[in-house]
Structure formats: structure tokens, C-alpha cells
């Protein structure tokens, strides 16, 4: 038993304060004045002598006088300075003396406080004291502290006497020194908040006045304080309460001090708790020569039946709500001042007794939970009289933990009892086997704490019992240490059989197995262990820059409000193969070895083999070694320094323990995986009768039913390991999880929605942070530079699913008014999202017109917002492209538009969300704009933009797994079904859905286009533009010629028919005459006779007519007599403009010649001569026809061109634009000013 600390005694005598030095007085002045008098005499003498100039004599006399005065001043100043230095030196020396005295007083005060706190512990610490057990019932009648009970804290004199120094009252004492002495004495003669106690033997009645809550709190504290340190043999506690207050004392039933010594009921000894004085009087023991009785009275008026007013020897009454009476002999009254909040911090009180000054104190308060916890722990240590303790079962045939750990049989194993606080020597110390001298223990503590650790090594060949030894060690530590003192990390590089069945232990912070099957888990384990070291360092730093876990535990024991920081044992089986697969893990183990002592980390490495050099850097950190049978003598030397382990017989579990270089112990390891001996009893037995354990007596009058035959008894099939794990499951606080399962199962998107703080912050997955030992929602923040999103991944990596998740998340966190989506589903997986109210438009891969229409619609929104219409009621616009590589291959003309949207879109509330198979699919200018990047598994990790090395660890067979910058692994959330998504959005949003994408119809009547354009629309109407769904017109004054290409039945003749009808509509016969070259006669009758100059259906007709027309038009060329004014107004000729419309030019332009060639010289001067030429031909073979003279001349003039449906393989026909397949009438109009416009050619009947 630890010796009781005693308060220091003795006397501290302070030195006398220094005295002030005396002044020289008149003598000093006289001594200084003598030279002055001599000098004055010299002055008089010089002044009285003759024989010289009077001026000289005066000057000399003055010099004598000044020298004398100066000398006198210097002397006086020197005397004053010398006195000041003497005072300062003496004062400093005395203050140093007081500093030494103060340090001595501090040490004495700390020792006094420690002694009193040990003697009278705080009620809050009593449950822990009872769990330790070393001080329970320590005070016997011959103990000077017997029946002394703590009631609170108060100011008390210092146990060491501080004597006043002599000479303090002297007149010449240094006032500063005297003041310092008085402050020291006033400060330290009385020490605040020291435990105060009262001797119950001196009082027959202790009365508590004040509020009931404060009174019961103090009463519980008094009862607990005296019960914890006194045995039931020397102290009896009884409670007499009324019906209203007896429930407050129900916890006393657990106190063995409140159990009757000779009366029992159905559940054990009768509890000395009653509401009737006569009943309790029969139960109380006699007071002569027996234990002291502490009787608690809470409310009854019949207490006089038990105790006379003058008291009774050997009995102390603790009376609550006592009347406020003057103190009498043998009575101690506590006057409590408060009853309300803050009772746990103590209650102001006064201890009042006869012929003594009241003592002001802060009374203790003990809540019911603490009192019951103490009482339960005390009850476990005191068997009721008449019962016999259970005898531990003997050891099994093979050595097992049961026979050595002192826990008894497994069936009797009680974690609450086994996990009680252990002496410092037994902490992290566990039996692992039997040696020649008895039980062999492995002590994981470091050598500074008389241990073998903190780190070690176990090596054993196949069949040597290595795995069983590890199980024995782990289970033994778990059975003897609570989870708040020890946590475990169990790592098995192979299949995990070593630690099978141990995951349910509350101590286990991680079970990491089958690393050989997935080496990516090794990197994750590295991060988890490194993060645990960082976490522990931060906890120590936040607790006050503590140096180690031991300091943390000491601070908690002193009452610091700190969470437990248990020791962590990391067991790594097959570490040699682990380091062979991941050599960089050595650095982590070295870091654990270096920092483990201070951080409470213990590393145990185990392996079948130990290759030379495998322990590079680790060897110096491995303190203890365990060598089972090895494969070679060299391995034994590497582990133990001797070849003995190689010579061991092939007996599992037989090995050597080397705790230090000088000690080698042979042992037989324990075995915990074998079956427990059968305990099935023959015959039938009666089932136990369950009765309530309450304060009042319990009678067993209920009939005991005949039980069924026993089932489920231990029959030898359960192992020690199974039973022990089962017994510990659910007990104690769960270990801090440093390892979370890998990201294998996606979270449903609905579970992540609470992580979305705003409409542009979309939870789309789960981030894995193994270093921080947590998982966070992956939230895409699209509010700033990250407004554009790129999803990149190889085939079947989950790109489309992730895009669907993103769209679903946006739909669930924002309304259709806040976010609208346009989707280019070039992969074919997003089509079901078309029914989502937020989706304004969705186009598949084959819907080219819809694809272009979506891009045009978004461009139009951007243009209108840029033009000053930001509040268009649409909210944020998202353009999603699933398959950027497909878009570049099949819709390459859209890439510049999308890149332009990426550059200017964020400022206009427009976002791109794109997916691609590789980062190189994006051009550099676009890639720089994609601020949010989600990288799934790539076809080649070397293409990673996040981290090439980490990208290689992304699993191939888990769609949705990927990386974000950091790098951090993530798993995309599982999107809801479309029906569920639509239902959720519809239920939450009562407004209208996003405006549907307006598409170009496949047929638009010309009359409709004319109505839309209005009567005063300039130019010739051709159709409706796809981007703005507005009429499109060409002005012949600006663009006199037009070139049209298209495949068969693409709408060439329809376009020419519309063109001709517009010419007739907008111009009179005097303003326009039309020449139609139509070998197929598809335009026959389309031009009225008054507008028709020629209708030419063959080369024989066309050649002379066009030559004649060319001659006529040449006459319109301006001559030398034309004035500049006429040139500006084009007034040198008059007449109609000539529109030459050529259909099927591929028939007209033969290899010999083209009739239209007659007009070729006039094409460049069309504006001067009034010539307008429209040429249409098939797109097939048009690449060769581009070099035909007429077409080449038109191309050289950069005239507008119309590309109807055609094959892209024909190449660029107008500028750099290729034809593409489309519905009849769908065309691309290419102009210099407007670029490329998609339009639907207006249709008009031939009778128009």
C-alpha cells in the first residue's frame, strides 16, 4: 500500500529586514567645511596683501572661492550616492532571501494540499478510487483519520509556521523590505480551498440547513466520503426517510455498509433503508463495541424513537432540513446558502458549533449518479456475509489466458471488474505463456517505465504458432484493459485469418486485412496511421503543449477536462511481405518507432521470415523480440542474436522472448483458439428467478416455473476467443476509428443533400480523407472560378452516371427557376433526364439539329445577357456535354462556340459541365477554364491531371471512383431514379418547369415567315434562323450573288422557289427581271410573265440568251464620260436589275463549257450593272466542281453560301464549312458578317 503523505511541518524564520544606514550628520559637514574655511582664509589673505594689481588679487581670490565651493559640492554628492548604494544592495539581498522563502512556502503548500487531498479525496474521484481498490476500507479504528469525513473546502493555515522576522517595528527598518515581508505573510499564512473534514466521533448530530437539493448533495458527499474509506465492519449507514424522499436514497441499497448483518430477504441482506423508525430500529446493530452508525434522517418526524435528544454513543445522526437552532454540545450545523444552479461546483456554507468561530467553506456536492457508481463498485468488493467467493476454474490442458490472468473462468469473466484501474506496473503488461519460472509476461511499456517496449518484433515459421501468439497477446490485453486505456489496430497483409473474430472487440480501432489482394489499401493504411500520429500531436498541443501521453493521463488524473487518449497498439502480421510490396511504408514504421514513445503508439511487427536488411532503419526502434521456431539459424540470429530459435522442436507456441540484449526467456505460448471444456450438466435444473433489487425488503413468494431442458450451453464448440469477445462486446466506449472501410458502396444522393448550403453547391459524392480519419461530402462549389465542371474517365468509369448525379443534385437543391439544364447526351445514358423539370432541352447523338439548336439557344441567352438583359427569369444555365470527344468528331463546328461560352459564361451565369475520355480531348484554352475537375479511372494513369501516382491506385472495376485535386479519392453518389427525382422535385416545386427548348420545325410556310418579319422587312426572306428563331433575309444590294449546295431532295429547288417568290414580292417588273436556267423544269411557272425575262431549259436556249444578256449588261458599264456623282448614285443607266437563277448547275456546267460562263466577267461588277446570280448544284462531287470557272469566281468573291443536307465527306464547300446530313430544307447559311447560321428554308407552294 502506498504510504500516506503527511503535510509538512516545521517553522520558517525570516531574516530581519535590513536597516537604513545612518547619516554622517554635523560631523561630516564639519569635516567637509574645514577645507572650505582654509580656502576662505586664503582668499582673505590674498585680498589683504598689497604689492600687486587689485584686479589680479580679486580674480585669484574668486578662483580660490569657486574651487572651495566645488569641492564641498562634490563631497556632499559622493556621500549621498554611497548611502543609496548601500540601501539598494541590502534591499536586493533581502528580496532574494524572500524569493527563496516564497519558493519553500510554495513547495510546502503544494505538499500540504496533496496530503489533504489524498487524505480527504474529492467526492467526484471516489468511484475511481473504489475501482482501484487499493484504499477501499483503509481506515480502521486505530487510524488517526478514522471517521474523519470531508465536507468541503475552506481556507486553512499553512502547515509550516511562518514567523515574523525580528526588527520589523524598528524605526530604521527598510520600508520596502518590511512591505514585502508583510505581503508574503498575508498571502501564504492561509491557503485557500483546502479539503476540510470533521470527526464524526465528536458529534452525535450533524444538522444541514438550507435548500433540499443542496442539503442532499452535501449529505450524499458525506456518506460517500466516509463509506469509501471505511469497511462495513467499522461503519454502518442507515437511512430513515419519509415516503416523499425515500426515492432519493434508493442508491444506498448498493452500499455494503447499508446491508444488515443478520437479516436477509429474497435478494440478499436486508437494506437499512426505511420509512418507519420502528422497523429501522430493529435492523440497526447495537452501538456498544460495534461499528459506528451513520443515520441519515430525511424528513421523518419520528426520529426520536431511534435517537434521544442527547444522542447515543457510537451513532451520528445526519439530519437534513434541520430546524435553525442555536448550536449545542455535540451538534455540528452546516448552514447552506444556495440551492439552485451550479451545485456541482459547491455550495457556500458555514460550519457552526458550540464555543467555536463559524468556519466559512464551500460545501461538497455529490449527485446521485456519482453516489450510485461508488456504491456499486463498493458492493462488488464486499461479498454479503454467509456467501463464499467463487473459485476460479483451473487452467486448461494447454496453457490459456484463463489460468494466468486472474480473471477466472470465461463464464465468470466480467469486463467491468477486469477493466478496473490497474497499478502502474501492470499497465500494458499481459501474460503470454509459461516459462520455467512460471508465467511469462510481455510488458509493452517503455524501458523508462520498467517495461520492454514500446515496439517489438515476432518472427516464426509456418506452423510455429505465430498467429496464435498474436491472438493471445491481443486478447489478453483486451481482457485486462478498458477501451479508454488501450486501442488496437490489427493489420494482416494476407487474408485476415490471424485476427478473425476480433473486429467486435470495443478496443479495435481498425482491422485491415487482405492488403495483398488490393495494394491500394496499403497507401490508405499509410495515410490512416500517419493521420493518427498527427491527431495525437494536435491533441497534446491543444491540451497545453503536453510532451507525451503520460502527461496527458496525469493531467486527466488531476481533474483536467480532457478526453481519454488511450495507448494504441499496431499489430502488423506478415510485415516482411508488406514492405516487399510497398518499401516506402518503412518510413512510416520508422516514424512510429521514433514518435511512439511520446504519442502512446506501440508497434508490433510479425512475419514468417525476416530477410537480411528488411529492418533497415527499424532495427534500433524494436526493443523486445519474440522468436518462435525459424526457418534458418541466420533468421534466429537476426531476431534474437543467437541460433536457438532454429533448434526449437516443432511444437506450436514454443519460443524465446528477448526483452533486452542480456535476457533470453524460453516459454510456451498460451492458446486461445481451442474449445472451452464442456460444461453441460446432466439432468434438468431450475431456471433462475429474476427479482428486483430495491431498497425495500423483497419476498420470493412467486411460484418458480419448471424450466425447459437447458439449451445453448457451452459444449466445447466455443473457443476462449469467441467467449471473451462475446463477453466484451458492447462494453466500454468504442475505440476511435482510425480506419474507415474503403469506398466500395456509393451513398444515395439523398443522404448527402444536407451538405448543400446553396443552389450552386452540389453534393455529388463522398470524399475519402484517411489521413483525417473521416469522410466528407464531395460538394462542387460552382459559385466562382470553379463554375465549369470537367468529368474525365476511361471507358465504363462512370462518367455518365456522375453527370446524372450532378444534374440530379442540382435539381434537388434548386428550383427550375434557379437552375436550368441543356443536355447534349452524346453517350446515350442521360436520355431519361428529359422529364426532369429543370431540363429545358436534351439531344441525343443522332439528333444533330437539336444538338446545334441547344448550343444556339445557350449562345442566344449569353448574347442577350451580355447585351444588358441579365434578369431573364432563367436563373443559372448549365450546358452539359456527355462525350466531348464525340462532339469534336461529329460536331466540330460547335467547339469554338462552346469554348467561347466557357470563356465568357461564368460572368453571365452560364456553366459548362462536360465529360471526356481523356484530358487531351480538351484544347488547352478550354481546359484552363474548367475549374472543377473530377477525374475518374483513366485508361492510362500517366494522363492524369491530378496526380499520376495516385491515379494508378483508382480501382478499375468500381465505376464512380476517382480523384479530385489534393489528391483525394472520391466515390460518386448514387443518383435517384428518374421517377423518384421527378416526384421529389414536383412535390417541392409548385411553379412551372423550365421553358422547353424551341426547335426549328421541319416545314415553315413562307407566309408565316412573312408575317413574322413584317411588311417592311428589308431583303429577301429565306427562312427562320435556328439561334433566335427569327426570320433570315438576304439583301441583294449587299450580297448580289448566292451559291447553294445540297444533296438530292435536300430542298435546293425549294430554296430557289422561295428566293424567286421574294424577288417578285419585293420588286416590280420595272425593278427586276428574272432569268431562270432550269433544265429539269422544277421552277416552271414560279415567276409571273411580267417578271420573267427568260426561262431556259437547255444549253441551246441558255447559251445565246445569256450571251445576249452579257452583251446588254456590258453596255451598262460606266464609260469615261460618267461623272463621280453618277457613279455614287449609279444613275448613268436605268432599267431593271437582272436576277439569274440557275438550278442543277451540275447539269448546266458540262465539260465543254457552261452557258453561264458568259456572265463570269461581269460577276465582280454586279453592283454596277445590276446583275444578281444564284447558282445551285448537287453537293455530291462538289469538291471537284469548286474549280469550275463560274463557281471559282463566285467563291473568290466570298459571296454567301447555303449548304443544305449533304455528306461531310465532301469537305469544306463554303469557306471552312462542311455540309452535314439534315432534314429537307435545313440549311447552313454562311456569310462574311454573320458567320454560319442554321436556318429552315421557308416553303412555298408552286402556285405562290
SS3 sequence of 315-379: EEEEEECCCCCCCCCCEEEEEECCCCCCHHHCEEEEEEECCCCCEEEEECCCCHHHHHHHHHHHH
Do residues 524 and 582 lie in contact, with contact meaning Cβ atoms separated by under 8 Å?
no
Helices (H) and strands (E) in the chain, counts: 31, 45
What secondary structure does DSSP assign to 284-320, as a single string? SPPSSSS-EEEEEEES-S-GGGTS-TT--TTEEEEEE
The three-state secondary structure class of 1243 is: strand
The three-state secondary structure class of 602 is: strand
Q: Other CB atoms closer than 10 Å to residue 518's CB: what's the count?
A: 12
- If you search the block for the grid coordinates 465528536, which residue do you land on? 202
Do residues 1006 and 1242 lie in contact, with contact meaning Cβ atoms separated by under 8 Å?
yes
Tell how strand 235-241 and strand 161-163 pair up: unpaired
Domain 1004-1115+1134-1243 falls under CATH 3.40.250.10? no
Tell how strand 654-660 and strand 1031-1034 pair up: unpaired
* DSSP-H helix ranges across 230-285: 277-283
- If you search the block for the grid coordinates 423518384, which residue do you land on? 980
* pLDDT for res 347: 81
Question: In terms of Cα–Cα distance, which of 425, 371, 378 is closest to 136?
Answer: 378
Residue 224 CA to its chain's centroid (Å): 42
Q: What is the 3-state secondary structure (H, E, C) of 517-540?
A: HCCHHHHHHHHHHHHHHHHHHHHH
Q: Is the peptide bond before 584 cis (omega within 30 degrees of 0)?
A: no
Active site residue 574: yes
Q: What is the 3-state secondary structure (H, E, C) of 920-932?
A: HHCCHHHHCCCCE
What's the grid cell of residue 109?
A: 503548500
* pLDDT for res 662: 85
Backbone angles phi, psi at 285, to 5 degrees: -75, 165
- Residue 369's contacts (CB-CB under 8 Å, 6 or more residues apart) are none
Torsion of CA 770, 771, 772, 777, to 10 degrees: -40
Q: What is the largest CA-CA distance in the chain?
A: 163
The three-state secondary structure class of 185 is: helix
Question: In terms of Cα–Cα distance, which of 1239, 777, 758, 1233 is closest to 1039?
Answer: 1233
Q: Is the peptide bond before 1190 cis (omega within 30 degrees of 0)?
A: no
Tell how strand 1137-1143 and strand 1171-1178 pair up: parallel
Residues placed in the known binding site: 460-467, 793-800, 1046-1053
* pLDDT for res 709: 40
DSSP H or E run through 986: helix 978-988
* pLDDT for res 678: 43
- Gap between the Cα atoms of 108 and 191, Å rounded: 11
Helix%, strand%, coil% for the chain, nearest 5: 35, 25, 40
Low-confidence ranges of the chain (pLDDT < 50): 1, 26, 386-411, 678-685, 702-715, 1248
- Gap between the Cα atoms of 494 and 485, Å rounded: 29
CA angle 490/496/502 to nearest 5° reads 55
- Gap between the Cα atoms of 700 and 690, Å rounded: 10
- Gap between the Cα atoms of 624 and 442, Å rounded: 9
* pLDDT for res 18: 86
Do residues 518 and 603 lie in contact, with contact meaning Cβ atoms separated by under 8 Å?
no
CA atoms within 13 A on the CB side of 185: 15
Look at domain 762-988 and name its CATH class.
Answer: alpha beta
Strand-pairing partners, residue 191, are 156
What secondary structure does DSSP assign to 929-963, as a single string? T--EEEEE--SSGGG-SS-HHHHTTS-SS-TTEEE
* pLDDT for res 715: 46
- Residue 871's contacts (CB-CB under 8 Å, 6 or more residues apart) are none
* pLDDT for res 384: 61
- Residue 92's contacts (CB-CB under 8 Å, 6 or more residues apart) are none
- Gap between the Cα atoms of 533 and 525, Å rounded: 13
Do residues 824 and 898 lie in contact, with contact meaning Cβ atoms separated by under 8 Å?
no
Residues placed in the known binding site for ATP: 460-467, 793-800, 1046-1053
* pLDDT for res 404: 38
- Residue 55's contacts (CB-CB under 8 Å, 6 or more residues apart) are none
The three-state secondary structure class of 120 is: coil
What's the grid cell of residue 1114?
A: 456590258
- Gap between the Cα atoms of 1203 and 20, Å rounded: 116
In what side-by-side order are the strands of the sheet with 315-320? 190-199, 148-157, 359-363, 347-353, 331-336, 205-209, 315-320, 292-298, 235-241, 273-274
- Gap between the Cα atoms of 983 and 975, Å rounded: 14
Backbone angles phi, psi at 1140, to 5 degrees: -105, 115
- Residue 1149's contacts (CB-CB under 8 Å, 6 or more residues apart) are 1156, 1177, 1185, 1188, 1190, 1191
DSSP designation for 257: G
Q: Other CB atoms closer than 10 Å to residue 163's CB: what's the count?
A: 10
DSSP designation for 1229: E
Superfamily of structural domain 401-669: P-loop containing nucleotide triphosphate hydrolases (3.40.50.300)
What's the grid cell of residue 726?
A: 462475446
- Gap between the Cα atoms of 1050 and 1047, Å rounded: 5
* pLDDT for res 823: 96
DSSP designation for 234: T
What's the grid cell of residue 373?
A: 457508481
* DSSP-H helix ranges across 456-584: 466-480, 520-542, 549-557, 575-581
pTM over 0.95: no
Do residues 189 and 158 lie in contact, with contact meaning Cβ atoms separated by under 8 Å?
yes
* pLDDT for res 553: 92
Do residues 229 and 139 lie in contact, with contact meaning Cβ atoms separated by under 8 Å?
yes
Tell how strand 932-936 and strand 508-513 pair up: unpaired
Catalytic option among 574, 1039, 1086, 1188: 574
- Residue 1120's contacts (CB-CB under 8 Å, 6 or more residues apart) are none
Amino acid at each position: 500500500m502506498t504510504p500516506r503523505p503527511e503535510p509538512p511541518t516545521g517553522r520558517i524564520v525570516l531574516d530581519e529586514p535590513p536597516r537604513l544606514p545612518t547619516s554622517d550628520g554635523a560631523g561630516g559637514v564639519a569635516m567637509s567645511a574645514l577645507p572650505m574655511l582654509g580656502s576662505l582664509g586664503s582668499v582673505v589673505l590674498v585680498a589683504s596683501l598689497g604689492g600687486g594689481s587689485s584686479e589680479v588679487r580679486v580674480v585669484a581670490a574668486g578662483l580660490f572661492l569657486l574651487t572651495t565651493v566645488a569641492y564641498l559640492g562634490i563631497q556632499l554628492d559622493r556621500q549621498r550616492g554611497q548611502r543609496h548604494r548601500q540601501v539598494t544592495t541590502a534591499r536586493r539581498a533581502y528580496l532574494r532571501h524572500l524569493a527563496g522563502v516564497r519558493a519553500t512556502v510554495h513547495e510546502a503548500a503544494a505538499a500540504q494540499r496533496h496530503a489533504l487531498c489524498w487524505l480527504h479525496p474529492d467526492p467526484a474521484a471516489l468511484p475511481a478510487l473504489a475501482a482501484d481498490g487499493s484504499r477501499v476500507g483503509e481506515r480502521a479504528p486505530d487510524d488517526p483519520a478514522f471517521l474523519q469525513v470531508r465536507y468541503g473546502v475552506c481556507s486553512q493555515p499553512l502547515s509550516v509556521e511562518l514567523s515574523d522576522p525580528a526588527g520589523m517595528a524598528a524605526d530604521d527598518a527598510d520600508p520596502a523590505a518590511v512591505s514585502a515581508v508583510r505581503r508574503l505573510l498575508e498571502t501564504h499564512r492561509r491557503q485557500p480551498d483546502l479539503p476540510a473534514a470533521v470527526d464524526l466521533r465528536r458529534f452525535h448530530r450533524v444538522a444541514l440547513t438550507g435548500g433540499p437539493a443542496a442539503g442532499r448533495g452535501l449529505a450524499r458527499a458525506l456518506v460517500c466520503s466516509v463509506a469509501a474509506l471505511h469497511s462495513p465492519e467499522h461503519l454502518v449507514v442507515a437511512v430513515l426517510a419519509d415516503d416523499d424522499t425515500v426515492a432519493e436514497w434508493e442508491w444506498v441499497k448498493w452500499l455494503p455498509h447499508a446491508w444488515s448483518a443478520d437479516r436477509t430477504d429474497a435478494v440478499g441482506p436486508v437494506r437499512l433503508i426505511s420509512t418507519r423508525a420502528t422497523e429501522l430500529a430493529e435492523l440497526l446493530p447495537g452501538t456498544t463495541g460495534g461499528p459506528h452508525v451513520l443515520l441519515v434522517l430525511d424528513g421523518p418526524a419520528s426520529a426520536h424513537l431511534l435517537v434521544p435528544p442527547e444522542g447515543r454513543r457510537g451513532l451520528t445522526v445526519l439530519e437534513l432540513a434541520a430546524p435553525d437552532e442555536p448550536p449545542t454540545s455535540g451538534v455540528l450545523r452546516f448552514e447552506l446558502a444556495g440551492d439552485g444552479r451550479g451545485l456541482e461546483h459547491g455550495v457556500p456554507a458555514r460550519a457552526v458549533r458550540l464555543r467555536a468561530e463559524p468556519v466559512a467553506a464551500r460545501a461538497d456536492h455529490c449527485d446521485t449518479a456519482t453516489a450510485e457508481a461508488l456504491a456499486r463498485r463498493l458492493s462488488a468488493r464486499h461479498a454479503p456475509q454467509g456467501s463464499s467467493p467463487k473459485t476460479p476454474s483451473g487452467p486448461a490442458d494447454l496453457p490459456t489466458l484463463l489460468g494466468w490472468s486472474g480473471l477466472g473462468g470465461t463464464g465468470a469473466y466480467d469486463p467491468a471488474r477486469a477493466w478496473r484501474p490497474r497499478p502502474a506496473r501492470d499497465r500494458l503488461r499481459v501474460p503470454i505463456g509459461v516459462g520455467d519460472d512460471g508465467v511469462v509476461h510481455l510488458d509493452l511499456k517503455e524501458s523508462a517505465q520498467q517495461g520492454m517496449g514500446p515496439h517489438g518484433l515476432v518472427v516464426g515459421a509456418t506452423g510455429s504458432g505465430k498467429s496464435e501468439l498474436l491472438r493471445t497477446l491481443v486478447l489478453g490485453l483486451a481482457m485486462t484493459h478498458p477501451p479508454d486505456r488501450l486501442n488496437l489496430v490489427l493489420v494482416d497483409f494476407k487474408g485476415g485469418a490471424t485476427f478473425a473474430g476480433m473486429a467486435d472487440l470495443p478496443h479495435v480501432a481498425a482491422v485491415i486485412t487482405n492488403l495483398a489482394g488490393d495494394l491500394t489499401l496499403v497507401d490508405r493504411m499509410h495515410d490512416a496511421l500517419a493521420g493518427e500520429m498527427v491527431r495525437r500531436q494536435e491533441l497534446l498541443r491543444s491540451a497545453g503543449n503536453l510532451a507525451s501521453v503520460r502527461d496527458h493521463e496525469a493531467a486527466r488524473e488531476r481533474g483536467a477536462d480532457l478526453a481519454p487518449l488511450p495507448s494504441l497498439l499496431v499489430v502488423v502480421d506478415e510485415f516482411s511481405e508488406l514492405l516487399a510490396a510497398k518499401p516506402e511504408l518503412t518510413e512510416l514504421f520508422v516514424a512510429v518507432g521514433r514518435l511512439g514513445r511520446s504519442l502512446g503508439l506501440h508497434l508490433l511487427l510479425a512475419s514468417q521470415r525476416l530477410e537480411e536488411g528488411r529492418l533497415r532503419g527499424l532495427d534500433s526502434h524494436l526493443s523486445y523480440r519474440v522468436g518462435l521456431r525459424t526457418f534458418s539459424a541466420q533468421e534466429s540470429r537476426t531476431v534474437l542474436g543467437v541460433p536457438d530459435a532454429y533448434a526449437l522442436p516443432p511444437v506450436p507456441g514454443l519460443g524465446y522472448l528477448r526483452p533486452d540484449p542480456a535476457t533470453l526467456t524460453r516459454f510456451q505460448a498460451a492458446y486461445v483458439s481451442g474449445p472451452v471444456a464442456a460444461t453441460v450438466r446432466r439432468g434438468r435444473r431450475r431456471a433462475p428467478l429474476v427479482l428486483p433489487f430495491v431498497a425495500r425488503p423483497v419476498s420470493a413468494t412467486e411460484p418458480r416455473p419448471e424450466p425447459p431442458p437447458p439449451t445453448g450451453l457451452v459444449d466445447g464448440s466455443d473457443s476462449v476467443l469467441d467467449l471473451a469477445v462475446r463477453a466484451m462486446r458492447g462494453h466500454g466506449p468504442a475505440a476511435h476509428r482510425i480506419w474507415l472501410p474503403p469506398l466500395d458502396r456509393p451513398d444515395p444522393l439523398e443522404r448527402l443533400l444536407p451538405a448543400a448550403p446553396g443552389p450552386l453547391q452540389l453534393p455529388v459524392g463522398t470524399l475519402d480523407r484517411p489521413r483525417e480519419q473521416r469522410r466528407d461530402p464531395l460538394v462542387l462549389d460552382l459559385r466562382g472560378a470553379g463554375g465549369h465542371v470537367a468529368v474525365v474517365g476511361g471507358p465504363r468509369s462512370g462518367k455518365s452516371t456522375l453527370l446524372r448525379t450532378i444534374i440530379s443534385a442540382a435539381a434537388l437543391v434548386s428550383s427550375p427557376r434557379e437552375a436550368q439544364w441543356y443536355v447534349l447526351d452524346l453517350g446515350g445514358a442521360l436520355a431519361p433526364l428529359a422529364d426532369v423539370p429543370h431540363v429545358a432541352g436534351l439531344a441525343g447523338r443522332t439528333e444533330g439539329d437539336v444538338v446545334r439548336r441547344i448550343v444556339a439557344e445557350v449562345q442566344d441567352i449569353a448574347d442577350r445577357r451580355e447585351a444588358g438583359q441579365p434578369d431573364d427569369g432563367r436563373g443559372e444555365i448549365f450546358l452539359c456535354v456527355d462525350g466531348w470527344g464525340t462532339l469534336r468528331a461529329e460536331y466540330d463546328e460547335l467547339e469554338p462556340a462552346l469554348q467561347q461560352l466557357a470563356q465568357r459564361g461564368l460572368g453571365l451565369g452560364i456553366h459548362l459541365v462536360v465529360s471526356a475520355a481523356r484530358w487531351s480531348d480538351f484544347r488547352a484554352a478550354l481546359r484552363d477554364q474548367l475549374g472543377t475537375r473530377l477525374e475518374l479511372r483513366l485508361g492510362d494513369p500517366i494522363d492524369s491531371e491530378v496526380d499520376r501516382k495516385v491515379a494508378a491506385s483508382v480501382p478499375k472495376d468500381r465505376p464512380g471512383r476517382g480523384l479530385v485535386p489534393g489528391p483525394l479519392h472520391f466515390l460518386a453518389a448514387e443518383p435517384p431514379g428518374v421517377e423518384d427525382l421527378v416526384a421529389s422535385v414536383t412535390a417541392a416545386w409548385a411553379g412551372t418547369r423550365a421553358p422547353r427548348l424551341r426547335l426549328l420545325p421541319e416545314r415553315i410556310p413562307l407566309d408565316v415567315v412573312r408575317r413574322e418579319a413584317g411588311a417592311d422587312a428589308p431583303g429577301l426572306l429565306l427562312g427562320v434562323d435556328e439561334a433566335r428563331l427569327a426570320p433570315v433575309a438576304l439583301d441583294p444590294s449587299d450580297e448580289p450573288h448566292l451559291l447553294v449546295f445540297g444533296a438530292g431532295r435536300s430542298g435546293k429547288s425549294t430554296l430557289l422557289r422561295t428566293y424567286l417568290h421574294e424577288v417578285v414580292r419585293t420588286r416590280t417588273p420595272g425593278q427586276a427581271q428574272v432569268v431562270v436556267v432550269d433544265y429539269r423544269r422544277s421552277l416552271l411557272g414560279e415567276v409571273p410573265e411580267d417578271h420573267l425575262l427568260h426561262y431556259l431549259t437547255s444549253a441551246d436556249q441558255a447559251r445565246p440568251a445569256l450571251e445576249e444578256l452579257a452583251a446588254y449588261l456590258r453596255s451598262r458599264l460606266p464609260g469615261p464620260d460618267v461623272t463621280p456623282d453618277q457613279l455614287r448614285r449609279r444613275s448613268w443607266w436605268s432599267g431593271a436589275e437582272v436576277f439569274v437563277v440557275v438550278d442543277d448547275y451540275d447539269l448546266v456546267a458540262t465539260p465543254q463549257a457552261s452557258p453561264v460562263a458568259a456572265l463570269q466577267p461581269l460577276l465582280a461588277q454586279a453592283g454596277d450593272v445590276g446583275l444578281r446570280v444564284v447558282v445551285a448544284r448537287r453537293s455530291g462531287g462538289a469538291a471537284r466542281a469548286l474549280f469550275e470557272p463560274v463557281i471559282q469566281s463566285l467563291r473568290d468573291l466570298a459571296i454567301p453560301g447555303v449548304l443544305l443536307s449533304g455528306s461531310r465527306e465532301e469537305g469544306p464547300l463554303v469557306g471552312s464549312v462542311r455540309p452535314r446530313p439534315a432534314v429537307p430544307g435545313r440549311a447552313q447559311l454562311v456569310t462574311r458578317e454573320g458567320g454560319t447560321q442554321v436556318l429552315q428554308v421557308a416553303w412555298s407552294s408552286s402556285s405562290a
